[in-house]
Amino acid sequence: MNLPVEVMEAVRNKKCILFVGSHFAAEAADKANLTFPEPAELAKELGWKKPKSPMGQKQKGVVPSVEEGAAAYEAANGRAALVAHFAERVGASGAAPTRAHELALKHFPMVFTTAVDTLLEEQARRTGTTLDVIDRSMKIPDPDPARRVLVRLRGDLGRPDSLILTAADHQQHPLSPDQRKTIRSLVRGYVVFFVGYRPDEEEFEKVFSELSDAYGGELPRCHLAVAQGNIDDYLWQKWVWRGLLMFLADPSDALDQMDAQL
């Protein structure tokens, strides 16, 4: 595995923005021998059902949606039960921060995340690092090499009111014009590096689309370390066409190599 030169140069110059996906927590849970469901599994246990064609037949090739499953679970059991289910299944309770969490805070002044666990905050507490946590209701500050900022695009389980779990939550809590302006400036001036995502999952599609929308068009070239899996030809073509360069690396592997090169 060779990290992209563009990413390495940006990290050295403090001009790289890190986006952290839920596979950071999945890796931590795996190290602690805890169960962390795949997104498709979580969607189905929440209540997601494959849509049927107009002729009543189930459609093929449909990716299970965690957001649709969450909406179904909330409708049947209420919001508190939905939050409790997420805490139990993907909260990574009992797991410890990994090397990836350590290196994320070491090398990146600003980290965006779509995960809902609080392992990055736990890493900051363990090391005495001052970490400013920003959610969708707050102003996103400009990056400062002397500060550490965590922008939570979906909230966190420690603050249930901040959570974005369904499509309705996204609609009710859109990014503000000021936040969109800041993100547009960041995308223009910094290299975007995604770690802990897979290109065939809803979580990545959602965050990529939200960034593209804030930017006002297709994103400039950015990079994705694909967690725990292969990339088929269809995905290569789909994402390269959208300006995304991919390579295979789990979170700790990618950031370990980055740290060694630095």
pTM for this predicted structure: 0.94
How far is C-alpha 86 from the geometric centre of its chain's CA atoms? 15
Q: Which amino acid is at 203?
A: E
Q: Write the DSSP string, 151-212.
A: EETT-BTTBGGG---SHHHHHHSPPPHHHHHHHHHHHHHSEEEEEEE-TTSHHHHHHHHHHH
How far is C-alpha 25 from the geometric centre of its chain's CA atoms? 10
Q: What per-residue confidence (pLDDT) applies to 76? A: 97
What CA–CA distance (Å, rounded) separates 16 from 181? 18
Query: What is the mean pLDDT, run by run of 10 residues, along the chain of 262 residues?
Result: 91 96 95 94 94 60 90 97 96 95 97 97 96 94 94 93 95 94 95 96 95 92 88 87 92 95 92
What CA–CA distance (Å, rounded) separates 116 from 162? 10
What CA–CA distance (Å, rounded) separates 180 from 130? 25
Q: What per-residue confidence (pLDDT) applies to 253? A: 94
Return the domain boundaries, the chain: 5-34+95-261, 39-90
Write out pLDDT tens, residues 44-61. 999 999 887 665 555 556
Alpha-helical segments (H) within the chain? 5-12, 23-31, 39-46, 66-77, 79-90, 99-107, 119-127, 167-172, 177-189, 202-215, 233-241, 251-261
CATH code reported for the domain at 5-34+95-261: 3.40.50.1220
* Tokens 């090398």, located at residue: 107
Q: What per-residue confidence (pLDDT) applies to 56? A: 53
Instruction: Please enumerate in sequence order all residues whose Cβ is within 8 A of that of 131, keeping only pairs 6 or more positions apart, or say none.
Output: 105, 120, 121, 124, 148, 149, 150
Write out pLDDT tens, residues 227-248. 987 788 888 898 988 989 999 9
Buried b (16+ CB within 10 A) or exposed e, 206-243: bbbebbeebbeeebeebbbbbbeeebeeebeeebeeee
